Structure 1
Amino acid sequence: MTQIRGVLLASVVLGLSVAIAPAAAQKKYDPGVTDTEIKIGNIMPYSGPLSAYALIGRVEAAFFKRLNDEGGINGRKINFISYDDAFSPAKTVEQARKLVESDEVLLIFQSLGTPTNNAIQKYLNDRKVPQLFVATGATKFGDPKNFPWTMGWQPTYQTEGRIYAKYILENLPQGKIGILYQNDDSGRDYLKGLKDGLGPEATKRMIVGEIPYDPTDPTVDRQVVTLKTLGADIFFDEASPKFAAQAIRKAAEIEWKPTLFLASVSNSVGSVLKPAGLENSKGVLSTNYLKDPTDPAWKDDPAIKEWAAFMDKYFPEGDKTSTFSVYGYLTAQTMVQVLKQCGDELTRENVMRQAANLRNFELPLLLPGIRINTSPTDFFPVEQMQMSRFNGEHGELFGPAIGGEIGTQ
């Protein structure tokens, strides 16, 4: 009898262990995930007025291809589904619905543009689909209280505007500022940051013109001429690549030689300054937070060498003189880190939990001293920038890395 009881007890214990073990190792998946695949959605302006940014999406696609060749993430390959919206908000809505409802992606990653992301923010938050690391610096995409499923990546436009204001007050206190800005929330964010940094008295005294443009405009020539006639000797060129290049070129044509500040979203030698004319661009001031591949200071940098080797193998036709190529690489690296932190709990909720748990995350292509930090109340991963000046060949960094609190006092 004792022997029988022992056998029965052993059977019960074994049964319990078998029942418990699968539960402990159970995988949790949401739509877009299997044991072998993770579907990630993306929306880019592969056509239209902002098509210069298409380079970012192509680099991200190449990055995920390399990742898959190396085995993926925990054995799962990334299925990167990227659609064109031509920078049309109506088209963005259509593509987002397709990605979520037809393709059934786990999340949407790096959709580009302020008005385009604005058009899908409520839809994605209502559906509880991560709208992760959006490619825009508008502050509205870092609001975890009202939009817990949306997170930015790059420094905000208001941060950048305050940095320029600090420089102007210290170095050009008697200047007259003329502003060209995109007629949407991104442009208005830049303006707010600049004005907040200047303060009410300096804003009233120094800004002589604020002229918007629409992405559907053929050129910004008229706006540039008007700013010159208003007597501006400081030109804040807050424009996307096509229009930023036009503005620099037009200023040279009319022999207007202001101190020119270029928004970081267009601070690219290959995509903007070359089309504008390198000689025309000499002296342009901007900010950066990532390593510029045209800067000889980084020619022996291991991270730049690794990135260049990646470009040569996986995207040989890609522009290695454009910071957009570095940007796409960095954002894809950040996405991979989040998915690694998720482990086998690849749910939408856990994706956002891990995205909001990046602590002193270092990426070698960011400028020295700049790290990625997020928390449940901080949805702005990169919050520091460094000033740069274009010398006719490449940007030269100067000063320390500074954050968005600069100039607000």
Structure 2
Amino acid sequence: MITLNQYITTALFTLPDSLVQFKSLIKQKDIELKLQFNPHQSVSGLLKEKSDFIDLILNCCWEYFLGVYAKQLSLCAVGGYGRRELFPQSDIDIIILLDSEDRAIYQESLSNFFSFLWDIGLKPGHSVRTVNECVNEAINDQTIMTSLMEFNLIAGNELLYEALKLRITPDKIWPSDQFFSAKMHEQQLRYTKFHDTAYNLEPNIKEGPGGIRDMQVIAWIFKRHYNSSTLKELIKYDFLPESDYAELISARDVLWRIRYALHLLTDRAENRLIFDYQRDLAKQFGFSADNQLYNQDVERFMQFYFKTVQGLERLNEMLLQLFNERFIIGEKVNKITPINEKFIAINGYLEAINDSIFEQHPLALLEVFLIIQLNPELLGIRATTIRLIRNNLHLIDDEFRANKTANRLFIEIFR
């Protein structure tokens, strides 16, 4: 059986309607992927399948338009494309690596290449740079450094590609502690934009707190320090137990499925769960209600979404604190300051006195936050204690909520 991929060869350019042929192939592939989509199944395979298909399209166009220069320059994927995570309406981000600063001899070929990609509907985001230019740009901008961490060779000169990889390692630019600090600052600014909460009425599933970007921040920081190709190594380096890793991947997969459905529903790169789409998505994800008047279907879908981002936001917080303790604080001498009979501060971060403190004193689940409020010199909560809090949330039951001391502590936190 002949597949769509087998039609993608430079022979298409011999046809008088080659542009139409390419557009038709892309449209057919989009339809094929849309038919494969199931809101209740992982979309990771679909994301990779689209990325592989775009590889074939770009390879074919590169070979035709660059001709004799095709092996001299490098065509590389960056961003979501570089990660092999192309959603239905994702940008196709690429970078062309030049072998010299003299662009004149390639100008016409590259111009024709980019124009054709636009004409067939790919709308690429592109840059054209030498290796030195890439390195200089990356030194001055951590977002460019981030995109280069995920770049992959699609076609052309492998030596240029490897040369750039060697020039951007942490021992040369952006060591992991500096990269971590930059990413933390970037996340703080992003959270501020969304009022520091995931619970917006029309949340952004990519950029909002607890969204897809939180997952990517974890991956970028971890990869920068350990040069790891998979998040599963979080288990290997003792950042997460198997259960927390499974929760992390499950949350990512849920958000991926929702984003995939949102792109198909809107036919654009939409990442906001605005009111107009919530009912359609609720139906797709199996949340239906007999009485639409009370929006029960939408409410159940949004609860499903908020529970997912809440879990991811907590894991993001815990992992970033662990990264901070290992990458930034590192081997510094621990300065221990007693707080009370349940908590101490280690290097300015609050720590439970032992692993069973919340089981022995459930009200400490509130007390920990009151201590933070009353001691502004504290920098935060240590990752091990964040994990203990997560593991003991089940203790907040009806009896806990009815407890007068718990209510008093809760009110005190907000004073």
TM-score (norm 2): 0.26
Structure holding more helix per residue: 2
Structure holding more strand per residue: 1
